[in-house]
């Protein structure tokens, strides 16, 4: 007998319930990844994520080959390809992880139609707690993080599965080379893009548990310290299992581990919101009647924001880190998103799209719902708070080292003066594109005169 393990955002051998179940169900298994043309057509196949994905697939294939198997790659419509492979191999069961996006929902519905009872959908693969299992009484999801987190901490997580020893793949199943995946995207990836794949992810995880986690609670917001795990791309592509991460962090214990587990719960939180409200990827979760600016001034401001030339060095540093690495520190993400939506008063969708064009961890649930959270249309219980770039600079980049790292024009300016280049004689830097006090007044007025 043959079963199929369809890989989606779970590109790993360790703790993979989909692969585990497919192996238990039959003597042979086809590990299948479909390069779905719809994903490319929807604008998701951007150079940074395609490059990282290619690493992931090559690494997964290598891992499977060490176990006597290989990865089968097909390009086309996912449902059509899965059905075709299942038919050709006379597969009894097709296993796949449950997703939370509208896209994944449609794919699952179509698969059910095509495969009927042969389809097996697995929970708690892409998140630690399965969306829909942690709920307030009488509702389908939590709309506020703190009570969600309280309930989430009480969930008993399954024990992680070991990587399989052998993966017997039937012969004669056609596959495309990993390199074919590059056909999806054009353009070059960011120069500082990390290496993808489960092995690279595990190396980072080991180093993180050994020497980063302990100090995380104290250092997570220190922009220059760069002291977060940088595990987000590996979580996005599923090179690492969120269930395993929670177990291992809890085992380490201490305030760093507690703070880290809390961030992993934020990831689950946004996923359960999106699972319940898939439309929140593009419509306001909590509409507030915003009339976002889109005039010529706003168009110029958006261009300056994207280029990292707003005249506010901390904002600019974040945007330049994004371009250089395909990644940005969370504290900088919060600031640049607040700056776009609340200071420039530009629609969060504009910023979210730009992030998705570049982020290697770009993720519908985390990106869109964090943007909504910052814009005040999402789950923030204080939707009118505005982050001031100068106050943020004093708190999170007090010495200016983060700005000096990412803004070469200011690399020679010592200390915190780097945050106010307009006050420095002889330093040429774009003047601020917006007056903060005027912007704050505009925001209050727009928000209150809906």
Q: CB-wise, 231 or 346, nearer to ligand FAD? A: 231
Q: With contact defined as beta carbons under 8 Å apart, do 432 and 301 qualify?
A: no
Rounded to the nearest whole angstrom, what is the least distance from the CB of residue 419 to ligand FAD in the complex?
20
Q: CB-wise, 2 or 372, nearer to ligand FAD? A: 372
Output the six-digit token pair for 87: 């038919």
For the segment 312-341, give every residue that binds ligand FAD (CB under 6 A): 330, 333-334, 337
Rounded to the nearest whole angstrom, what is the least distance from the CB of residue 69 to ligand FAD in the complex?
29
Number of CB atoms found within 10 A of residue 115's CB: 20
Rounded to the nearest whole angstrom, what is the least distance from the CB of residue 218 to ligand FAD in the complex?
13
Cα distance from N-terminal residue to C-terminal residue, the chain: 62
Q: Which residues pair with 136 in a beta bridge?
A: none
Q: CB-wise, 175 or 372, nearer to ligand FAD? A: 372
Rounded to the nearest whole angstrom, what is the least distance from the CB of residue 233 to ligand FAD in the complex?
8
Output the six-digit token pair for 5: 């393990």
Cα-flanking dihedrals φ and ψ of residue 328, to 5°? -140, 145
SS3 433: coil
How many chain residues interact with ligand FAD (CB under 6 A)? 28
For the segment 353-382, give every residue that binds ligand FAD (CB under 6 A): 355, 359, 361-363, 366-367, 370-371, 374
**Contacting residue, 235, 274, 302, 358, with ligand FAD by CB under 6 A:** 235
Q: With contact defined as beta carbons under 8 Å apart, do 100 and 365 qualify?
A: yes
- Is 213 marked within a binding site? no
Q: CB-wise, 120 or 236, nearer to ligand FAD? A: 236
Residue whose C-alpha is closest to residue 161's, from 267, 371, 10 = 10
Rounded to the nearest whole angstrom, what is the least distance from the CB of residue 171 to ligand FAD in the complex?
38
Rounded to the nearest whole angstrom, what is the least distance from the CB of residue 187 to ligand FAD in the complex?
19
For the segment 248-267, give every residue that binds ligand FAD (CB under 6 A): 260, 263-264, 266-267
- Is 284 marked within a binding site? no
Distance (Å, whole) CA 378 – CA 348:
11
Taking only Cα atoms into account, the Rg of the chain, rounded to an integer number of angstroms, comes to 23
- Is 232 marked within a binding site? yes
Rounded to the nearest whole angstrom, what is the least distance from the CB of residue 291 to ligand FAD in the complex?
21
Where does this chain touch ligand FAD (CB under 6 A) — which range of 27-35, 120-128, 222-230, 314-322?
222-230
- Is 362 marked within a binding site? yes
Residue that the structure tokens 């009647």 belong to: 289
SS3 425: coil
Output the six-digit token pair for 428: 């040429």
Burial pattern 14-38, b for ≥16 Cβ within 10 A else e, equals bbbbbbbbbbebbebbbbbbbbbee
For the segment 4-63, give every residue that binds ligand FAD (CB under 6 A): none
Residue whose C-alpha is closest to residue 4's, from 31, 39, 27 = 31
Q: Give residues in contact with ligand FAD (CB under 6 A).
A: 220, 228-232, 235-236, 260, 263-264, 266-267, 270, 330, 333-334, 337, 355, 359, 361-363, 366-367, 370-371, 374
Q: List binding-site positions for FAD.
A: 216, 228-232, 260, 361-363
């Amino acid at each position: 007998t043959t079963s199929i393990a369809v890989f989606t955002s779970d590109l790993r051998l360790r703790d993979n319930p989909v692969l585990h179940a497919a192996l238990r169900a039959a003597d042979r298994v086809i590990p299948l990844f479909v390069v779905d043309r719809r994903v490319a057509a929807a604008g998701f196949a951007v150079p940074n994520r395609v490059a990282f994905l290619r690493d992931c697939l090559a690494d997964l294939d290598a891992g499977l080959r060490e176990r006597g198997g290989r990865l089968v790659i097909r390009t086309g419509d996912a449902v059509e390809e899965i059905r075709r492979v299942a038919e050709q191999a006379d597969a009894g069961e097709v296993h796949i992880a449950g997703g939370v996006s509208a896209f994944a929902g449609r794919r699952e519905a179509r698969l059910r139609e095509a495969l009927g009872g042969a389809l097996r959908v697995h929970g708690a693969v892409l998140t630690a707690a399965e969306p829909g299992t942690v709920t307030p009484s009488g509702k389908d999801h939590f709309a506020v993080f703190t009570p969600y987190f309280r309930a989430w901490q009480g969930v008993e997580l399954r024990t992680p599965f070991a990587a399989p020893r052998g993966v017997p793949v039937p012969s004669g199943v056609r596959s495309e080379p990993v390199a074919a995946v590059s056909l999806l995207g054009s353009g070059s990836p960011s120069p500082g893009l990390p290496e993808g794949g489960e092995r690279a992810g595990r190396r980072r995880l080991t180093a993180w548990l050994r020497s980063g986690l302990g100090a995380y609670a104290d250092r997570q917001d220190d922009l220059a310290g760069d002291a977060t795990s940088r595990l987000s791309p590996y979580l996005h592509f599923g090179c690492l299992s969120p269930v395993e991460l929670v177990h291992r962090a809890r085992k380490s214990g201490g305030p760093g581990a507690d703070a880290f587990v809390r961030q992993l719960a934020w990831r689950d939180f946004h996923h359960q919101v999106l699972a319940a409200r898939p439309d929140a990827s593009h419509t306001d979760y909590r509409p507030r009647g915003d009339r976002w600016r889109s005039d010529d001034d706003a168009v110029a401001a958006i261009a300056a924001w994207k280029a990292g030339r707003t005249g506010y060095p901390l904002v600019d540093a974040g945007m330049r880190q994004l371009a250089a690495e395909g990644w940005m520190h969370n504290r900088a993400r919060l600031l640049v998103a607040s700056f776009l939506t609340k200071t420039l008063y530009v629609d969060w969708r504009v910023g979210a799209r730009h992030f998705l064009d570049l982020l290697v961890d770009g993720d519908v649930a985390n990106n869109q719902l964090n943007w909504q959270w910052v814009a005040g249309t999402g789950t923030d219980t204080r939707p009118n708070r505005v982050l001031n770039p100068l106050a943020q600079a004093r708190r999170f980049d007090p010495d200016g080292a983060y700005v000096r790292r990412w803004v070469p024009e200011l690399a020679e300016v010592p200390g915190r003066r780097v945050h106010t280049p307009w006050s420095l004689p002889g330093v040429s830097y774009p003047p601020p594109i917006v007056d903060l006090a005027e912007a704050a007044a505009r925001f209050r007025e727009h928000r209150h005169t809906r």
